[in-house]
């Protein structure tokens, strides 16, 4: 079915032009132009109507309608209708222009709320003529441009009638049977011309599954291609040496950390490029795993790059790696603030191979950066980097293995959508001895009590963060706010505790000094903007105070909260907020009750929608026609499992998958050579 829209009898060149203006060129485009909603007009006799229900009534207009005005601009239109020999009054508010639609003697269909006692209907929708009793559900299309509802419907009918026999089934029969799905042709018929809500539901179910399956097949195919097309990249990892390093850690790895490390090493020693996402809740020990794994690669003679989103993190990772890794390993740090001679030295060391491990921000992807033999790339908090940035770094190494790490808990539905082409490892267990963080939501007028509590903790040897968020959409005010709190606290605690200030605009060396002082407990209370949101690791900190907490989403609050509770001491998170809206209140409530990052992320997804969490464009989230990854997550999971079996079980070559294969091929990220 690739015929042009102009071939449908009844669609002339002018109409074809209108359709093309909204992106409909071919008949299949038209059939794929799905309704945005459905209106229901189910007609019942008057005595069967329920008081206060939304009902549909068909009747004959008895008198010319009457309009009266009240207040300044309000109007009330009264229509008298004869329905089964009973006089019914119809009221339309504020649409005096509707008067012309109700000419005496005409048959009309009206829809609205029924008042059984007064035999009166408050009309929401009206249309001329009686409705088709056999088709009580009407599809409503988005009528963009110059196209009217009635026109689209007419064309849809024409197109469907002329081409229904050409709508081929693309799913193997066994799928239809197992999932009790209607055929493709039936589904198209029901989605455009529903015979009942029951059939419509199943039609949607079928088309959503198909859409998700094709998407997942493409993802799995990409995944398989990565494995097959990147041969010749096996690293010889000396597990014993890595084990020795791990033994020198001041703790034992959790089972989850060990499992993930094994998965990574398995990938690294295979002759294909690794493309793996490491997920783990805040503080679950991802960095420890990353360091152990990169040590293996360095020992195998290749360079590694560790890309992080902030300068603060780059510095922190550098410091901890220098502490953990043996001295003969050369570790360097490259950020935009490293300039002049120092920068030249680092670039030379990367090109000559003298530098084994480079840690940096996006400065690592500048053109001037060249590696001798980059074999492994680790990207921390990967959703903060665009897809393009990720790829540039990877391309600097020939077939470099890549590990993406994220502490932002990504709900499963999102992760299998966004990262469907990656292998996923999870750290689903916290290190031993951690105590759950106690979270309290308080009103801002309790500020003094909170600061007294913070001081109590400091007296006991602990440290605290006080986060001052964005007040307006302005970085400056943000800093001002932090500055005010900093000055206020410094004054109150003078001589008793040292207060520090951190924000994005501080010069790099000052940032470094402040963070180092905080890490060494020379600063006990750190007043900061959200620059410490990700990754910052000071296990002695036990209190996180977040001002105006209702301005953050749940995932961000969880990240911030994750800065405490990283050691064995009991930790507290205090959310100061006076939210006005329901969602704000709900968020505070959920945060006080839940510490599980994944659960929070699921809730966040429900409260805010996928796009808001990552920004749809940047995240590369695909836009589906019918499917909604939050609502249809079960279908998504089923589709993912089926796609995995089909691709890795090599089933696409079998005859019953032939049609499906064509669809998978169609849009495989604009590369149609992949599935030959
Ligand atoms: N198995 C373990 N047992 C005890 N402590 C651990 C273990 N693994 C890591 N840690 C410690 O827990 C803290 C958090 O670990 P790490 O920084 O690796 O977590 P992360 O998952 O990278 O955190 P974030 O998501 O916040 O970046 C660190 O102080 C680290 O030394």
Q: Which residue has the higher pLDDT, 292 or 495?
A: 292
Checking if the pLDDT of 399 tops 70, the result is no
pLDDT at 54: 83
The predicted model scores a pTM of 0.68
How many angstroms is it from 431 CA to the middle of ligand 1?
A: 8
- Residues 72-80: what's their mean pLDDT? 89
Give the residue whose CA is nearest to atom 16 of ligand 1.
285
CA of 288 to the centre of ligand 1 (A): 6
Lowest mean pLDDT segment, chosen from 94-103, 350-359, 533-542, 621-630: 621-630
ipTM: 0.97
Homologous superfamily of domain range 438-594: P-loop containing nucleotide triphosphate hydrolases (3.40.50.300)
In the structure, what pLDDT confidence band is assigned to residue 303 with cuts at 50, 70 and 90?
very high
Fold type of domain 42-128? OB fold (Dihydrolipoamide Acetyltransferase, E2P) (2.40.50)
| Domain residue limits, the chain | 42-128, 239-269+285-406, 438-594
288 CA: nearest ligand 1 atom: 18
Q: Which ligand 1 atom lies nearest to the CA of residue 562?
A: 26
User: 22: Cβ–Cβ under 8 A, 6 or more apart, which residues?
Assistant: 144, 145, 147
| Cα–Cα distance, 574 to 567 (Å, whole number) | 18
Q: What is the 3-state secondary structure (H, E, C) of 40-82?
A: ECCECCHHHCCCCCEEEEEEEECCCCEEEEECCCEEEEEEEEE
User: Which of 24-28, 428-432, 605-609 comes out lowest in average pLDDT?
Assistant: 605-609
Q: What percent of the chain has pLDDT over 90?
A: 39
Amino acid 280: pLDDT: 87
pLDDT digits (tens, 9 = 90+) for 576-618: 998 887 878 888 999 999 888 878 877 877 776 655 544 433 4
Q: How far is the CA of 460 from the centre of ligand 1 (A)?
A: 23
List, in order, residues 6 or more apart from 134 with CB less than 8 Å away: 195
Distance CA 401, CA 335 (A): 22
How, if at all, do strands 401-406 and 275-280 pair?
A: parallel
Please tell me the least confidently modeled range out of 121-130, 323-332, 614-623: 614-623
SS3 125: strand
β strands within 369-498, DSSP E: 374-380, 401-406, 423-427, 438-442, 463-467
Query: What's the mean pLDDT when you consider all of the chain?
Result: 85
Instruction: Read off the pLDDT of each residue in 167-171 and give the average, rounded to a whole number.
Output: 91
- pLDDT tier for residue 472 given thresholds of 50, 70 and 90: very low
Q: Under CATH, to which class is 239-269+285-406 assigned?
A: alpha beta
Is 407 a pocket residue for ligand 1 (Cβ < 6 Å)?
yes
CB neighbours of residue 140 within 10 Å: 13
Return d(Cα 301, Cα 375) in angstroms, integer.
9
Higher pLDDT, 325 or 20: 325
Tell me if 239-269+285-406 shares its fold with 438-594: yes
Q: Is the pLDDT of residue 529 over 90?
A: no
- Whats the size of the chain, residue-wise? 676
Ligand 1 touching residue 488 (CB < 6 A)? no
């Amino acid at each position: 079915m690739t015929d042009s829209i102009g071939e449908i009898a009844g669609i002339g060149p002018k109409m074809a032009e209108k359709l093309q203006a909204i992106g409909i060129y071919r008949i299949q485009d038209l059939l794929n132009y799905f309704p945005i909603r459905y209106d229901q007009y189910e007609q019942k006799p008057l005595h069967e109507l329920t008081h206060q229900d939304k009902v549909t009534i068909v009747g004959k207009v008895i008198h010319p309608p009457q309009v009266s005005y009240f207040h300044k601009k309000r109007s009330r239109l009264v229509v008298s209708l004869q329905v089964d020999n009973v006089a019914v009054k119809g009221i339309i508010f504020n649409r005096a222009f509707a008067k012309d639609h109700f000419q005496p003697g005409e048959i009309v269909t009206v829809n609205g709320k029924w008042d059984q006692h007064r035999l009166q209907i408050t009309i929401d929708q009206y249309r001329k003529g009686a409705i088709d009793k056999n088709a009580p559900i009407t599809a409503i299309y988005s009528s963009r441009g110059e196209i009217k509802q009635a026109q689209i419907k007419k064309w849809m009918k024409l197109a469907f009638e002329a081409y229904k026999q050409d709508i081929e089934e693309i799913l193997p029969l066994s799928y239809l049977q197992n999932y009790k799905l209607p055929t493709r042709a039936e589904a198209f018929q029901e989605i455009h011309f529903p015979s009942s809500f029951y059939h419509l539901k199943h039609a949607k179910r079928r088309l959503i599954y198909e859409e998700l399956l094709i998407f997942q097949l493409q993802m799995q195919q990409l995944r398989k291609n990565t494995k097959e097309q990147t041969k010749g990249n096996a690293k010889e990892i000396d597990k014993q040496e890595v084990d020795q390093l791990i033994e020198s850690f001041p703790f034992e790895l959790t089972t989850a950390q060990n499992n993930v490390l094994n998965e990574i090493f398995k990938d690294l020693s295979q002759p294909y490029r690794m493309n793996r996402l490491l997920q783990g809740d805040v503080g679950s020990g991802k960095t420890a795993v990353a360091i152990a794994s990169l040590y293996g690669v360095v020992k195998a003679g290749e360079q590694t790059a560790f890309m992080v989103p902030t300068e603060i993190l780059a510095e922190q990772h550098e410091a901890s790696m220098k502490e953990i890794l043996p001295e003969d390993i050369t570790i360097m740090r490259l950020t935009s603030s490293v300039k002049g001679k120092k920068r030249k030295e680092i670039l030379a060391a990367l090109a000559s191979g003298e530098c084994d491990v480079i840690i940096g921000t996006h400065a690592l992807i500048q053109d001037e950066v060249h590696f001798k033999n980059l074999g492994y790339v680790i990207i921390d908090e990967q959703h903060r980097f665009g897809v393009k940035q990720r790829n540039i770094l990877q391309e600097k190494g020939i077939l470099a293995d890549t590990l993406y790490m994220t502490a932002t808990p990504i709900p499963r539905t999102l992760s299998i959508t966004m990262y469907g082409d990656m292998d996923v490892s999870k750290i689903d267990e916290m290190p031993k001895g951690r105590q759950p963080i106690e979270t309290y939501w308080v009103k801002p007028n309790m500020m003094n009590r909170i600061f007294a509590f913070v001081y109590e903790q400091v007296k006991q040897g602990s440290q605290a963060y006080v986060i001052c968020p964005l007040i307006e959409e302005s970085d400056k005010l943000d800093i001002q706010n932090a500055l005010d709190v900093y000055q206020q606290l410094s004054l109150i605690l003078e001589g008793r505790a040292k207060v520090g200030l951190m924000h994005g605009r501080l010069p790099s060396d000052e940032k470094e000094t402040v963070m180092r002082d905080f890490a060494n407990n020379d600063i006990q209370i750190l007043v900061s903007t959200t620059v410490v949101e990700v990754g910052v690791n000071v296990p002695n900190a036990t209190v996180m105070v977040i001002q105006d907490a209702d301005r953050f989403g749940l995932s961000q609050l969880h990240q911030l909260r994750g800065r405490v509770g990283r050691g064995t001491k009991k930790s507290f998170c205090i959310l100061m907020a006076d939210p006005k809206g329901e969602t704000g209140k709900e968020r505070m409530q959920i945060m006080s009750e839940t510490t599980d990052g994944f659960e929070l992320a699921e809730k966040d997804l429900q409260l805010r929608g996928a796009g808001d969490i990552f920004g749809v464009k940047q995240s590369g989230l695909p836009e589906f026609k019918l499917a909604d990854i939050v609502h249809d997550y079960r279908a998504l999971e089923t589709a993912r499992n089926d796609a995995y079996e089909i691709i890795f079980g090599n089933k696409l070559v079998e005859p019953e998958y032939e049609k499906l294969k064509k669809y998978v091929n169609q849009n495989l990220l604009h590369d149609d050579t992949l599935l030959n």
